[in-house]
Amino acid sequence: MNRSYIGGDWVEGKSVLKNLNPSDINDCVGEFECIDQSQTNEAIQVASDATTDWQEIGIHRRAEILDSIGSKILERKDELGTLLSREEGKTLPEGLGEVERAGHIFKFFAGEAVRISGSSMDSVRYGVDVEISREPLGLVGIITPWNFPIAIPAWKIAPALAYGNTVVFKPAGLVPASAHALTEIISESGLPSGVFNLVMGSGSEVGAAIVESPLISAVTFTGSVETGRDVLVKTAERQAKVQLEMGGKNPLVILDDADLDIAVECALNGAFYSTGQRCTASSRLIVTSGIHDHFVTRLVERMEKMKVDHALEPGTEMGPVVDETQLKQDLEYLEIGRSEGAEIVSGGIQLERKTKGYYLAPTLFTETSNNMRINQEEIFGPIATVLKVKDYEEALSAANDTSFGLSAGICTNSLKYSRHFRHKSEAGMVMVNLPTAGVDYHVPFGGRRNSSFGPREQGQAAAQFYTATKTAYISS
């Protein structure tokens, strides 16, 4: 049974939900107990009360604890990766890779905990010194989605703790087992009780309690644009610090001079790995006319060889869609695309496998225009579109013609175009001859427009969100 963890105890919930394996819905990964709003408020109180203890424990001990969490995650990589793939549906290599990344994130922020620094300078008033320092915020509320069940929690929990904050963490309901396993590791790390709390339950009850509590100084949220906007409005009302990471509709531009092998692999990886359920997925492939037909033929050949199966089956390249609701949404977008006049050149069908799961063939639309809904709305599934354009200028303009701005890529051998694209792309992250997905943990992550709001996540940039700046003036 997966339970919430509050004030150092595993706490019984008010209702029980089943956690089903999307690769095999007859496999129940486990059950988890949902707590209610008043239990969430208790967790918030406990975490708020623990802030002084955690700040006073000192940076060396904080670093040791974070490092030990990272080591434990890496030691348990095989077990955690298998669990993650079983409950979320990404392939085992993807699950293992994600767990490894979570371990490295904790280790990175263990180092950052002892590198918290400020600066000092002369005041414009002679004889006065100015010292600028970073201080913890207090209690941070963390709300995460289902698609990276351990990496996203890690990249929020680790910096929150490293910079001296206490935490109330609410994972998505589809991935309670990974959250529980991560919490188990954190609970055994020597962290004082109350510093880290796991609250499992619905967004409308548990999530809302976090967003609305005056005891929570800052809320970091990753999820859909719709929920993110709600979080933004509610945190703005009480002037809490907020950071939002939301959707994407990421373009991958392929120019006539691109290396075709690289372009096809970038598109395949970016669009279909993790079943296309990545905020950074290359869901719009913008291809210039000279290479268009070769590219589509080669990509389709590669897509049709892709092994779509149970996430834990050896050799599987793409697992199932995460659940029935998401599958329904994907199927609706197939209809929307068809009704808009786009053509499906590969996929577009549900697949049956030995086990009953939510399998959808990787799907490619051609004959699209950029104003179609399938080119403007985030689908969040294994569905990509191809937009044929005349030249680089038209490709750049289409790439930027979106309400999102998370990641953008270009495949080209031209220094001139790759440089121009890096400067003129209106996305937060730009990839050259690489898929739009796949980012490092030690550098800033985030986007523009509807994709993100607030300071960047990860790397040293995380300090901007998880700390408050203090300016002190000292005269002798």
Least distance (Å) from ligand NAD to the CB of residue 215? 16
**CA dist 340 to 333, 335, 350, 361, Å?**
10, 9, 21, 20
Give the number of residues in contact with ligand NAD, rule: CB under 6 A. Answer: 29
Place of tokens 């959250």: 179
Least distance (Å) from ligand NAD to the CB of residue 244? 8
Told to check if 327 binds ligand NAD by CB under 6 A, we report: no
By C-beta, is 164 or 207 nearer to ligand NAD?
A: 207
Told to check if 23 binds ligand NAD by CB under 6 A, we report: no
The token pair at 470 is 């203090």
Interface characters, 359-388, with ligand NAD (x: CB under 6 A): -------------------x-x--------
The DSSP output letter for 99 is H
Among 33, 98, 112, 245, binds ligand NAD (CB under 6 A): 245
By C-beta, is 172 or 396 nearer to ligand NAD?
A: 172
Told to check if 247 binds ligand NAD by CB under 6 A, we report: yes
CA pair distance 100, 151, nearest whole angstrom? 9
Question: Helix count (H) and strand count (E) of the chain?
Answer: 16, 20
For residues 255-294, which are near ligand NAD according to CB under 6 A? 279
**28 belongs to the catalytic site:** no
CA pair distance 120, 470, nearest whole angstrom? 11
Identify the CA nearest to 390 among candidates 255, 250, 283, 284.
Answer: 255
Phi-psi domain of 171 (left: phi exceeds 0; alpha: psi -120 through 50; beta: other): beta
CA pair distance 113, 136, nearest whole angstrom? 11
Told to check if 87 binds ligand NAD by CB under 6 A, we report: no
Residues paired with 408 in a beta bridge = 430
Pairing verdict, β 9-11 and 4-6: antiparallel
In terms of DSSP H, where are the helices of 213-342? 225-237, 260-272, 289-304, 324-339
Told to check if 454 binds ligand NAD by CB under 6 A, we report: no
Interface characters, 140-169, with ligand NAD (x: CB under 6 A): ---xxxxxx---------------------
Least distance (Å) from ligand NAD to the CB of residue 225? 6
**SS3 of residue 417 by DSSP:** helix
Least distance (Å) from ligand NAD to the CB of residue 240? 13
Q: What are phi and psi of 475, to 5 degrees?
A: -120, 140
Interface characters, 180-219, with ligand NAD (x: CB under 6 A): -----------------------xx--xx--x--------
Candidates 245, 265, 317, 457; catalytic one: 245
Interface characters, 419-438, with ligand NAD (x: CB under 6 A): --------------------
CA pair distance 464, 386, nearest whole angstrom? 38
CA pair distance 315, 91, nearest whole angstrom? 9
Least distance (Å) from ligand NAD to the CB of residue 453? 10
Least distance (Å) from ligand NAD to the CB of residue 171? 6
Told to check if 231 binds ligand NAD by CB under 6 A, we report: yes
Which helix (H) or strand (E) element contains residue 361? none
Which helix (H) or strand (E) element contains residue 248? none
By C-beta, is 136 or 171 nearer to ligand NAD?
A: 171
Identify the CA nearest to 245 among candidates 219, 267, 270, 266.
Answer: 219
Told to check if 246 binds ligand NAD by CB under 6 A, we report: yes
Asked whether 72 and 185 are in contact (CB, 8 A), the reply is yes
**34 belongs to the catalytic site:** no
The DSSP output letter for 191 is P
Part in contact with ligand NAD (CB under 6 A); list of ranges 91-99, 139-147, 384-392, 459-467: 139-147
Among 224, 355, 433, 460, binds ligand NAD (CB under 6 A): 224
CA pair distance 452, 334, nearest whole angstrom? 27
Asked whether 151 and 171 are in contact (CB, 8 A), the reply is no
Single-letter code of the amino acid located at 227: T
Told to check if 230 binds ligand NAD by CB under 6 A, we report: yes
By C-beta, is 196 or 295 nearer to ligand NAD?
A: 196
Least distance (Å) from ligand NAD to the CB of residue 418? 24
Candidates 279, 378, 411, 457; catalytic one: 279
Part in contact with ligand NAD (CB under 6 A); list of ranges 245-253, 268-276, 311-319, 388-396: 245-253
Active site residues: 245, 279
Q: Which residues would be at the binding site for ligand NAD (CB under 6 A)?
A: 143-148, 170, 172-173, 203-204, 207-208, 211, 222-224, 227, 230-231, 245-248, 279, 378, 380, 406, 451
